């Protein structure tokens, strides 16, 4: 099919539940309210001292009372949940409740355990400094330098025996699947900012081929952590706010602006419930949006002095196009092809908009490669000026925003801190009513993985 007609599959995959945790708060109501008001959540972090970092601002989600989201018998395991895990568990709890999956205690289940899957994207989890400090201190040699023998004899013993279970990336999916007794296909995808869309795309495929009837799918990540912030600084993703002096957080992150200087660390999670639309209808559950197409691609990095350059680096770390433009182009075209449609059917694009010059230029080229002259006519939506760089959570948060836009038939506000390009519809705008039938969600990632999803009503 072509033109402005979107594919209607024999059994479409519907989004029937949605849970979000972000700097706006817990729940989709707080999320949508923050998006429509364009509220900037960037500020000095409360959970850590960022004064020693080049970037001293962040977008933190609120503290989470895990007892409110865990059954009584499971609450003791909150002690081995890193912040990333907490975010994903709460988002999944909200999603399952909104879809009426019946996975709580003493509830009637909508699906048998072996027919419910779990696909949760994650990042390389960053341990807390105090936990590591005790172990590192015990591993000093006589000359106060690192001693591998001391590490083996006494250093590792300073870590709790369950320490690894707190920081393995697959523990997000692990806790979610245990809590909801989801014994169907399960996977963890760690591919940077593309993790969420890749996980949702995989869950879609699993249901389409009949290996599950429903799935919890999405991602979570927290970059508001000493080690995580340092990593983002090293790969050239963050704005050096310390060098700027007094900074207005509302104008700091500037997607697609020629004077973009980077983003700030953020955190969040978004998890959706996917199931066949006819099954949801038979259960009397309203669908939020429909998954129509999915595509993915991998950037081929250029060579520098005979060695490949990691794709997705910011300009300050030597990043250029890094092949991201071609890979993102392929991912978007693949998603459109999978939806049985073409660019003319897309009414809005929820894109990465990293606020970092090299990355935004690559994304800009990809949008023009796919949409041609229409690229300047389609509304762009991005979250970074409000929520910062949420990395592995980014793709699923974008998809959650797109699904809610379809439900409410309106677009989020579009904050702007710098000049908008003439060839993209990215200038400042308030939330507005919009005719939305087809929406594209796309993102690129550190490491070069790119993903795209087409959503419809």
Q: Tell me the two tokens of residue 257.
A: 């602006």
Say whether pLDDT at 306 is over 70.
no
Q: Which of 34-38, 85-89, 177-181, 308-312 has the lowest mean pLDDT?
A: 308-312
16 phi and psi, to 5 degrees? -110, -10
% pLDDT > 70, the chain:
96
Rounded Cα distance between 269 and 397, Å, is 7
DSSP state of 419: P
The pLDDT of residue 2: 39
Q: Tell me the two tokens of residue 404.
A: 């809610």
The pLDDT of residue 154: 87
Say whether pLDDT at 89 is over 60.
yes
Contact 263, 422 (CB under 8 A): no
Q: What is the tens place of the pLDDT at every residue in 338-380?
A: 999 999 999 999 999 999 999 999 999 999 999 999 999 999 9
Considering the chain, what is the average pLDDT of its residues? 92
Helix (H, G, I), strand (E, B) or coil at 392: helix
The pLDDT of residue 121: 98
What's the average model confidence in pLDDT over 293-322?
A: 83
Q: Return the axis-axis angle of helices 83-98 and 171-179, rounded to nearest 10°.
A: 40
Helix (H, G, I), strand (E, B) or coil at 109: coil
Work out whether strand 13-22 and strand 289-298 pair parallel, antiparallel, or are unpaired: antiparallel
The pLDDT of residue 153: 86
The pLDDT of residue 418: 86
What's the average model confidence in pLDDT over 123-152?
A: 86
Q: Residue 194, Cα to own-chain centre: how many angstroms?
A: 7
Strands (E) across 75-204 are located at 116-121, 186-187
The pLDDT of residue 9: 46
Say whether pLDDT at 405 is over 70.
yes
The pLDDT of residue 304: 66
Say whether pLDDT at 162 is over 80.
yes
The DSSP bridge partners found for residue 210 are: none
The pLDDT of residue 10: 54
The pLDDT of residue 247: 86
Same fold, 13-130+161-283 and 291-456: yes
Nearest to 369 by CA among 412, 321, 319, 415: 321
Say whether pLDDT at 145 is over 60.
yes
- Find all residues with CB under 8 Å of 207, minimum gap 6, and list them: 13, 117, 213, 214, 215, 274, 275, 276
What's the average model confidence in pLDDT over 126-134?
A: 85
Contact 450, 293 (CB under 8 A): no
Nearest to 319 by CA among 367, 352, 351, 354: 354
The pLDDT of residue 6: 57
Higher pLDDT, 441 or 307: 441
Q: What is the tens place of the pLDDT at every residue in 10-21?
A: 578 999 999 999
Say whether pLDDT at 303 is over 80.
no
The pLDDT of residue 139: 87
Q: What is the tens place of the pLDDT at every residue in 164-196?
A: 899 999 999 999 999 999 999 999 999 999 999
User: What band does 316 get if pLDDT is binned at 50, 70 and 90?
Assistant: confident
What does the longest C-alpha to C-alpha distance in the chain come to?
73
Contact 400, 272 (CB under 8 A): yes
What's the average model confidence in pLDDT over 18-46?
A: 97
Where are the domains positioned within the chain?
13-130+161-283, 291-456
In what helix (H) or strand (E) does residue 307 lie, and over which residues does it extend? strand 307-308
The DSSP bridge partners found for residue 290 are: 14, 456
| Helix residue ranges per DSSP H, 38-128 | 83-98
How many Cβ atoms sit within 10 Å of the Cβ of residue 144?
8
How many Cβ atoms sit within 10 Å of the Cβ of residue 68?
9
Contact 110, 100 (CB under 8 A): yes
The pLDDT of residue 196: 98
The pLDDT of residue 346: 97
pTM score of the predicted model: 0.94
Helix (H, G, I), strand (E, B) or coil at 125: coil
The end-to-end CA distance of the chain, in Å, is 18
What's the average model confidence in pLDDT over 28-54?
A: 95
Contact 34, 41 (CB under 8 A): yes
Q: What is the tens place of the pLDDT at every residue in 197-207?
A: 999 999 999 99
The pLDDT of residue 184: 97
Chosen CATH of 291-456 out of 3.30.70.270, 3.60.21.70, 3.40.47.10, 2.60.40.10: 3.40.47.10
The pLDDT of residue 7: 52
Helix (H, G, I), strand (E, B) or coil at 197: helix
Q: Which CATH architecture has domain 13-130+161-283?
A: 3-Layer(aba) Sandwich (3.40)
Say whether pLDDT at 235 is over 60.
yes
Q: Tell me the two tokens of residue 338.
A: 């999978």
What's the average model confidence in pLDDT over 423-428?
A: 94
The pLDDT of residue 107: 87
What's the average model confidence in pLDDT over 333-339?
A: 97
Say whether pLDDT at 264 is over 50.
yes
Rounded Cα distance between 136 and 141, Å, is 11
What's the average model confidence in pLDDT over 271-291?
A: 96
Nearest to 210 by CA among 11, 455, 451: 11
Q: What is the tens place of the pLDDT at every residue in 380-403?
A: 999 999 999 999 999 999 999 999
């Amino acid at each position: 099919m072509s033109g402005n007609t979107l594919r209607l599959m024999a059994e479409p995959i519907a989004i029937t539940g949605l849970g979000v945790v972000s700097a706006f708060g817990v729940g989709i109501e707080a999320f949508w309210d923050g998006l429509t008001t364009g509220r900037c959540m960037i500020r000095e972090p409360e959970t850590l001292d960022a004064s020693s970092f080049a970037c001293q601002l962040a977008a933190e989600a609120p503290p989470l009372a895990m007892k409110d989201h865990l059954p009584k018998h499971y609450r003791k395991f909150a002690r081995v949940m890193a912040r990333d895990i907490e975010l994903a568990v709460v988002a999944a709890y909200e999603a399952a409740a909104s879809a009426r999956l019946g996975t709580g205690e003493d509830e009637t289940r909508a699906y048998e355990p072996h027919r419910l899957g779990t696909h949760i994207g994650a990042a390389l989890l960053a341990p807390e400094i105090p936990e590591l400090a005790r172990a590192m201190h015990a591993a000093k040699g006589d000359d106060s330098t690192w001693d591998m023998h001391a590490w083996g004899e006494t250093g590792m013993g300073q870590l709790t025996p369950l320490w690894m279970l707190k920081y393995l990336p697959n523990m997000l999916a692990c806790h979610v699947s245990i809590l909801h007794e989801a014994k169907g296909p399960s996977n963890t995808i760690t591919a940077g900012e593309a993790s969420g869309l890749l996980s949702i795309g995989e869950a879609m495929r699993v249901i389409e081929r009949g290996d599950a009837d429903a799935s919890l799918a999405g991602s979570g990540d927290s970059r508001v952590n000493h080690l995580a912030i340092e990593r983002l600084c090293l790969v050239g993703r963050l704005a050096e706010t310390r060098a700027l002096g007094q900074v207005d957080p509302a104008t700091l992150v500037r997607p697609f602006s020629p004077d973009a200087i980077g983003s700030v660390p953020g955190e969040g999670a978004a998890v959706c419930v996917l199931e066949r639309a006819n099954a949801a209808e038979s259960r009397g559950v309203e669908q939020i949006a429909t998954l129509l197409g999915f595509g993915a691609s991998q950037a081929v990095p250029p060579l520098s002095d005979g060695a490949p350059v990691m794709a997705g680096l910011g300009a300050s770390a030597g990043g250029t196009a890094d092949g991201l433009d071609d890979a993102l182009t392929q991912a978007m075209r693949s998603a459109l092809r999978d939806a049985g449609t073409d660019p003319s059917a897309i009414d809005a694009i929820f894109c990465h908009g990293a606020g970092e010059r090299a990355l935004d230029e690559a994304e800009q080229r990809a949008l023009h490669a796919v949409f041609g002259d229409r690229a300047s006519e389609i509304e762009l939506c991005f979250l970074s000026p409000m929520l910062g760089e949420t990395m592995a959570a980014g793709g699923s948060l974008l998809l959650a925003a797109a699904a809610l836009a379809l439900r409410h038939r309106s677009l989020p506000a579009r904050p702007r801190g710098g000049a908008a390009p003439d060839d993209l519809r990215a200038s400042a705008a308030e939330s507005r009513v919009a005719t939305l039938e087809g929406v594209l969600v796309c993102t690129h990632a550190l490491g070069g993985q790119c993903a795209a999803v087409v959503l419809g009503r």
